[in-house]
Structure formats: C-alpha cells, structure tokens
Structure 1
Amino acid sequence: EYLEKHWEEPDEGIWEVRGPRRHFVHSKVMAWVAVDRTIKLVESGDVEGPLERWYQLRDDIHRDVCERGYDKERNTFTQSYGSKEL
C-alpha cells in the first residue's frame, strides 16, 4: 500500500546528489521491481493480494519511466525525469 501511494513522489535517490528531490529513474525502476516481484509471489500462491490492481500499478510505473525517463535522441535512460544526466 505504501508503494502505491508514494511511488510518484520525487526522492533523494541512492547517490549523494546535491539539490532538490527528483524523480530518479533508478528509484522508479526499483518500485517497478518491488511490484513485479510481489505479483510473482501472489501468482505462485505464496501470498495473497489484489493482482489486478498490482498489474495496473506495474504497468503505470513502466509507462511513466519509459515516457519521462528515457531520452529518445540519445537512446538511453536518464538519471532523473527531465535531466540529460546519465
């Protein structure tokens, strides 16, 4: 539940980057991984959970990262949304 409510917020990232909080691509991808692995646990029967809701969340995070964290001109993901840094 926490992840569902907070994945869209900017953060400090895992590096010691100076300045304001940002939408770090690495953080968004790690949120996607957390949801994806939780889905796999539910699918395997190890835990219970709202699969349809989590499928949608996983897709939303993926779409957001690809639309906002990818530089099409350079064919690469960036450090954070709107940044040219890698």
Structure 2
Amino acid sequence: MCSACGRINDKMALNVRARNCRCGAAHDRDMNAALNVLAAGQADNGNDRGARVRPPAMAAPRREAVTHPDAARSTRSVAGLSVP
C-alpha cells in the first residue's frame, strides 16, 4: 500500500526493494511499510465505542491498604532456603 495515496498494489517479489507509485511517490519497501504501520497504530486509539479502556485510579479499601506486621520480615535466606 502506498503510504502517500493509499493505493494498494499487486503482490511483489521479496527481492524488489523500491518501487514507484502511480501518484508519483518513490518508496523504499521497508520505509513505506514502517510508515503504514505507524499510521495504522495512530488510527487505532480507542475501542469500538470510544469509551475509556482503563478505569480511573481509585483508593484501595482500608482493609486492603493496611500492611501486615509480618510483611517486612523476610521468610527466605540468601541461598533461597526457608528461615525457621
């Protein structure tokens, strides 16, 4: 597909590294593909209904935010064996 005009061309052999489009644009095959991928990624910026994909951040309930007293104590030694 031409990154300048959007025209879809026929299949090409992989050894063809450059081509000229009917719109007059000259393309390097890899650079043209990179521009097409970039444009497709920028066009897909939401879901199909336009809603927020990720919910807003909120505070955790109090019981989830409390740190357990034993949480700071390591249960593993340096070698990876359990500490008695």
TM-score between both structures, scaled by the size of structure 1: 0.27
TM-score between both structures, scaled by the size of structure 2: 0.27
Q: Which has the larger radius of gyration?
A: 2
The structure, 1 or 2, with the larger RCO (C-alpha pairs under 8 Å, 6+ apart) is 1
More helix as a share of residues? 1
